């Protein structure tokens, strides 16, 4: 009977000491901290995954968002079809354009690329000033850069800004020439003056008027 009672006590835990309440609190607190850290780790992993997904989308989309100018096609002079015409003035009458021009013309050339007129170039002389002007058809030149254009921009390294006849211009006064660049409506203009250039502003005023 005594042996039976001892076994009963063991089964009912009557002879065991109850754990201290402080130990139980520490155990519960430790378990809550572990669960809290697990939840935090899950949130961190989710945030990192979301950031990686956004980065991947940007990497894929950015090339398509870049402007077309980032992939310009370079057109050499030899790629252009040249055709001599009477003058820009006569060209305006025939094609119904309103392209700016000087009153006199020694030589005018029309440049065609992919069956579209892209450039006009006109040479003229006024006293001791020799003028060479390039007109670029901006709508026909999207995504294109020209060797012919570089013959003018090479003289615009130290350009300054000014306003003539309410038109914003860029100009560069060099030791042997003055180069002017501006945009008017759908055309870009480059004017290169050589020789007597002290009164170059008057020539640009004449052109803009």
Total Cβ atoms within 10 A of residue 187: 17
Overall pTM > 0.85: no
pLDDT digit string, tens, across residues 135-166 = 999 999 999 999 999 999 999 988 999 999 99
**Comparing C-alpha atoms, which of 106, 197, 107 is closest to residue 155?**
197
Q: Which of 144, 133, 4 is nearest to 71 (CA)?
A: 144
Q: Which residues of the chain have pLDDT under 70?
A: 1-46, 52, 54, 56-58, 61-70
Of 159, 79, 143, 133, the residue nearest 111 (C-alpha): 79
Contact status, residue 105 vs residue 87, Cβ threshold 8 Å: yes
**What Rg do the C-alpha atoms of the chain give, in angstroms?**
40
**In the chain, what's the furthest Cα-to-Cα distance?**
140
Query: What pLDDT is recorded for position 69?
Result: 43
Residue 25, token pair as written in the block? 């609190």
């Amino acid at each position: 009977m005594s042996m039976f009672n001892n076994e009963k006590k063991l089964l009912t835990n009557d002879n065991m000491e109850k754990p201290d309440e402080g130990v139980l609190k520490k155990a519960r607190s430790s378990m809550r901290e572990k669960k809290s850290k697990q939840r935090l780790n899950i949130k961190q992993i989710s945030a990192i995954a979301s950031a990686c997904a956004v980065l991947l989308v940007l990497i894929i989309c950015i090339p398509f968002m870049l402007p077309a100018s980032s992939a310009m096609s370079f057109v050499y002079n030899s790629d252009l079809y040249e055709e001599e015409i009477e003058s820009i003035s006569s060209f305006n009458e025939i094609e119904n354009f309103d392209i700016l021009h000087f009153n006199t013309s020694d030589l005018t050339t029309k440049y065609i690329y992919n069956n579209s007129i892209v450039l006009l170039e006109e040479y003229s002389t006024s006293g001791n000033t020799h003028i060479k002007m390039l007109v670029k058809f901006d709508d026909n030149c999207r995504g294109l850069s020209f060797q012919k254009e570089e013959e003018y921009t090479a003289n615009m390294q130290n350009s300054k800004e000014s306003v003539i006849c309410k038109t914003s211009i860029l100009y560069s006064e060099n030791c042997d020439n003055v180069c002017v660049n501006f945009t008017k409506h759908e055309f870009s203009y480059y004017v290169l003056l050589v020789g007597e250039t002290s009164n170059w502003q008057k020539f640009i005023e004449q052109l803009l008027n």
